[in-house]
Each structure stands twice: as structure tokens, then as C-alpha cells.
Chains A and B, each alone.
Chain A
Amino acid sequence: MEELLGNIYCWFESIFGQYLAEHLWGYNCETLMYQRNLFNVIGLITIGISFVLVLAYYYLPLFLFNHPRSNRWWNWLIILLIAGIFNFFVAYGWTINDFLNGNIGDCLMYTRDSEGNIISQLIYKKDCWLFGLSNFFVSAMFFIAWSLIFKWWSRNCKYSPF
């Protein structure tokens, strides 16, 4: 159960890289153990945001949400995109912050030879962007799932997007 969210993110591991994935799993280069599972943290935020926006879209009486003129499929899609972009930045922001502040363990950042010289770099800034992108997809998945579950009681948007 604890690994459920991480396993979902790992469908996209080939996009953002194995080493950033290990960092997010919480691998600590000193203790060589897994500690804080960041997939759970970021995943819960993503689930939460998409959940809130799904509820808002279907139930909040405000233009753009639960309104007879915003029950077209593309209105739903816009909200999905908003959630996705927000979650993109959550994921990107978190990882780039760790990257820039040296919070990512050395054994995950670089391969070193026996003298301690860097042979190659394992995690780059672009991986943080790509993780953001992966989170966008994860967000979309959850958005669709929440929509399927919760849309049925919506007055105006019940059949949006289908």
C-alpha cells in the first residue's frame, strides 16, 4: 500500500530517470536505506488538487464550474489542464528545489571513481522538468478517475465529458 503511489509514478520512470526516482522513493546515500517516500507526499498533493478541482467543476456554483454553459467536454478538459499544470509545477518545484539545494544524495547525483572524482552525472535539471511532466500525466489520470466517480450527482455537468 505504501508503495502504491510510487508504483504508479514508476510507469513514467523511463521519462524522468531511475536516479531521480530513487531520490523520490527516499533513498538516503548515507544510511543506504529508504526514508521519506516523496512519491507519497507529491502523489497525495496531486490527488488532492485534482480531487478538489473535480469537485469544483461538478458542484461549485460558479462560472466555469457546475454551470450549464460549461458542461461541454472541452470545459472539463480545461479544468483537467489547469489541475495538470498546477501539479506539474508542484512536482517540478519540489524536485528542482532538492536539486539546487543539494538535498539529493551524492550517490544518486554522480558516479564517482575510487578517488572520488566524478565520472558521470546521473540527475540533471531536465529530469525535474520531466518529472513535472510525469506528474501532469498522473494528475490527468486521477482527474479522470475522480470525474468518473463523482460526476453522477452534478446538476449541470453530469454528462461532461461523456
Chain B
Amino acid sequence: MLKSLTMLLAAGVECGVDTIVPIIIDRDMSNKDLSRTILLIEDYIDVNRIADTKGKNKFFKTKIELLNNELCLQLKDNTQKFSDFIGKSTMSPENQALVEMLFSNETLELDMTAGFQGNPNIGSVVLNQFDDSDIFKAFATNFSKGDKIFIISSIFGGTGASGFPLLRKILHTPNVKGSDGQDLPNWGLVNDALIGAISVLPYFMVGSATDNSLVNSDTFIDKSKAALSYYKTEDKKLDTFYYIADKRTTTYDHHKGGDEQKNDAHFVELASALAILDFVNPDKEKSNIHRNAEKKINYTTYKEFGMNADVAEINFNDLVDETKKLLINPLSRFMLFRNYMTMVFDKESKYQPYARKRFNNDFRKNETIKKLEAVQAQFYNWLQEMEKQNRRFSPFNLTTLSAFDFVKGDVSINESKDFMYKNWAKVDNELNSQIGKMDKALKNEQCFIELFYSTTEELINYKN
């Protein structure tokens, strides 16, 4: 989901805040999805450095910051087996018996490096040691007035399901002390901060276990129900609580974790990211936030995600106007940008004035630009992956070679002003026109991103 959020921010979707600080809490450090996300965010951060052009550019505009340059809240203890973690072997025989009653043998023998594999009961024990970590301290130190907190968790999983309520509780506990015994700084601000959360209900299944995994998607619904009933206690503890689920599911390959756990992107993740944007949107404050004079939460707003129709293949027309307006221009512009870079740039940059003496052969070897293109590649993959799901998000024709005909459905994204210029020539013409308007003080990379934003903004303008 963080990936979806990153993609949306890369595309320049409107965000009500200027910085997002993501913190991933996961014990499964070698999860391939996590690795991919970390790389993506690192690339994004690099590109974001050139995104502030003081011009029109919105691509990569929102800053993503990592606390202590780390994305993940590392849980200190590296003990692998659950029984070792709780120190069963050092317990008294009576306690050991209690433990054996509470947890199954498989659970006790669980190698936790791969996460809690759908056992929130373990997770809740283990994750209680949040407040000891360095990231948490950094979180507190860097927290300012006006900052908002948003918790994303899946209800049916292991780590996410167990961690969410714990986390919320700690954030609302006053005078929490760090590992050094000192009060964590700014904790009063943290207590009072606006807080939202999304709980992602089941939207996929897993195939049968290929190894000794305890994950079983048949149990997803039951576990969700169990967690939901617990979440009733979160009422009035959160300003806004978002829920999302999808009955139309795809079955993923079964890998309990490690570098094999690589699930394709899903529209639900994208929609979840929209929840964040909804929460931080200052225009939505009236509907999302209800606090009294003492800054205490009067009541929690509950929100669910809706579309125009329950279709297997979603394009922009199937989204409600608000969602459509939010997504269509940024995603289309970014798509055009990506398509141009992959299909046209190599050939045309030799001839077009906008590229002359600026974006020559070596330009693409620039580290930041390489990362920009890496993000674009990931953007494309992300769209491809979403297309493969049972509930396909397929707003674009991903195989077209045309410059403007890639938006599916009866959507008109631009007006043809210049009938003289068609297809990619139209884009080149606009690039050549825009380059003259660029601020001369901008560095090359900044100029590049500003140029492409201005151009795509001029060419793609969905109104209505």
C-alpha cells in the first residue's frame, strides 16, 4: 500500500501535507514486497530532491522522509523462535504449562523471522516492545505540532492485525519512556495529534501451502471478524477510521515470507492510499475531524471506499467523480511521461531543440534520472500487476504505442488545439514550446522534470 501511495505521489496526486514520513513495522525484513518498497521509496526520495523547482511541477513533489534514514521499525530482539522469544525455556514449569495451553506447538516453534504468519496472538506479544526501538525515539524527537498520524494495517494478516491496536495504544499513552528510561520528547504532541487509520480487510487468497506455513486464507474471514470485534474498542480513539475490502479476490502463490513473498499490486492498495490522502486533505477536515475544545475526540468518522459500479475491470469512468478527478490527470500525465521516456526519448532527443545541449546521451546516466526512470518502470509494473488481478484496475491501455489514446473508456483527456501536430509529434512540439518558458536558474535535472510536468499538464487536462 505504501507502494501505491508512493506511486500516487510520484504522479503528483494532490496531497494536503508537504511531507510524509512512512514507518513500516514488520519483523519479516526479507519480505520481497518490503524490499521492493524500500528501494522504491529510496528512489523517490532521491528524485524528490530535484522536484522542488518553484514552478509548476507536481511530479514527486510531496516529500517522503525517513526517520533515521530507516523505513522499518526494527524489533530489537533477533530471537527466531517464538518459544525462545518469550523465554519459555527459562520459565517455571507452571508458566511453561500455561504457555503450552495458550499456544499450539507449531506456534511455539514458529520461526518469527518470517513474520507472525497470520497469528496475531503471537504478534501482540512480540510487538509490545515497540517503545524500545530507536525509530520510535526518532519519531518522537521529530514530531511537531500539526503533524498527523495515520496507521495502516491489514486485519487478516499477522503482523498488521496484531500491531495496529497496540500501536494506537502506545501513541495515546502519556509519558512513555524510551529504552534509556527517559520520557520520549514531544510525547504530549503525539498524544494530541490528529490520528486516522485504515484497516484492510481480505481482498486476496493464497494457494495451498508449499512448505510448513501456517498461513491459510480460509481463515482470513474468521480472523477478520475476530479482529473487527476488537476494533470496536478503537471507537473515539481515532478521528477517522477507514475500512476497505474486496469480495472479488485473486489467489496468490503461497509463500509465507522471505524473498518469495511477492504479491502483485491490487487496486485495494491504491484505494487505501487514497484514504491517507483523504485524511490529510484540509478540505476534508470538517467531515473527518470532530474534536471538542479540549482537543478530545468527540466521535470517530467511519469511511468506506465506493465506486460507481461493481465491475471486474475498473477504468476511470467507474470511479466516482471525486476519485476520478483526483487520479485521472496525475496518473495520465505520469503515464505519458513514462511512455515518452521509454518509446520516444532515445530517438527524438537527438533532434529536438528542448533536449539539445541539455538532455544528451549522458543525461540518462545521471543517478537521479536513473532513479526517476526506475520509478517510472515500477509505475508501469504496478499498473500491469493491478491489471492481472481478478478485480482489475485497468485505466490505461498499457501496450499502445499512441501518445494520447491510452486512456480507456470514453474519456477525453485533452483538446486538440493544434491539428498540425499529431501523436508524439504533438508532445515534442509542446516540449519545444515549454522549454523556452523554463527558469534559466534551474539545474538540468530540475529543468527536465519541470519541463515534462508543464508539457504533460498542457497536453492532458481532463475537465468536467
Contact = CB atoms under 8 A, between A and B. Distances in A.
Direct chain A–B contact by Cβ atoms under 8 Å: yes
Interface of A: 61-63, 67-69, 71-72, 154-160
A90 to B, nearest CB: 29
Given A68-B421, A159-B356, 11 more contacts: A62-B420, A67-B425, A67-B429, A68-B348, A68-B351, A68-B424, A68-B428, A68-B429, A71-B351, A71-B353, A159-B353
Nearest to A153: B436
5 contacts: A67-B420, A68-B421, A68-B425, A71-B351, A158-B353
B352 A156 contact: yes
B399 to A, nearest CB: 23
B418 interface: yes
Contacts of B356: 158-159
B424 to A, nearest CB: 8
Contact of B429 (A155, A158, A159, A160): A155
A153 to B, nearest CB: 9
A157 B432 CA distance: 9
Contacts, number: 43
Pairs of residues from A and B, 3 with the lowest C-beta to C-beta distance, nearest first: A68-B428, A158-B353, A68-B425
Contacts of B433: 155
Interface in B315-353: 348, 351-353
Contacts of A155: 353, 429, 432-433, 436
Contacts of A71: 351-353
Given A68-B348, A68-B432, A69-B425, A156 B420 contact: no
A67 B418 CA distance: 11
Contacts of A72: 351
Contacts of B436: 155
A157 B352 CA distance: 8
A100 B51 CA distance: 72
Contacts of A61: 418, 420-421
A69 to B, nearest CB: 5
B417 to A, nearest CB: 11
Interface string B417-449: 010110011001100110010000000000000
Which bucket holds chain B's interface residue count? 10 to 19
A71 B428 CA distance: 11
Interface in B86-101: none
Query: What is the predominant secondary structure among interface residues of chain A facing chain B?
Result: loop
B102 to A, nearest CB: 71
A61 B422 CA distance: 12
B360 to A, nearest CB: 12
A86 B428 CA distance: 31
A71 B352 CA distance: 7
A155 B426 CA distance: 12
**Which of A62, A68, A154 is the most central at the interface, judged by chain B CB atoms within 10 Å of its CB?**
A68
Which of B352, B353, B433, B436 has most A Cβ within 10 Å? B353
Nearest to B425: A68
Contacts of A159: 351, 353, 356
A63 B420 contact: yes
A84 B169 CA distance: 84
B428 A156 contact: yes
Contacts of A67: 420-421, 425, 429
Contacts of A69: 425, 428
Contacts of B424: 68
A86 B429 CA distance: 29
A97 to B, nearest CB: 39
A62 B353 CA distance: 18
A35 B322 CA distance: 80
Q: Which of the listed residues A71, A72, A154, A156 has the most CB atoms from chain B within 10 Å of its own CB? A: A156
Contacts of A160: 351
A156 B425 CA distance: 10
Contacts of A154: 353
A66 to B, nearest CB: 9
A68 to B, nearest CB: 3
A62 B356 CA distance: 22
Nearest to A154: B353
A145 to B, nearest CB: 21
A156 B418 contact: no
Contacts of B352: 68, 71, 156
A160 to B, nearest CB: 8
Nearest to A75: B351
Nearest to A65: B420
Contacts of B348: 68
Nearest to A157: B353
Interface centre among A61, A71, A155 (most CB of B within 10 A): A155
A62 B348 CA distance: 19
Nearest to B431: A68
A2 to B, nearest CB: 39
Nearest to B426: A68
Contacts of B353: 71, 154-159
A157 B354 CA distance: 10
Contacts of A63: 420
A160 B425 CA distance: 16
A30 to B, nearest CB: 56
A63 B351 CA distance: 16
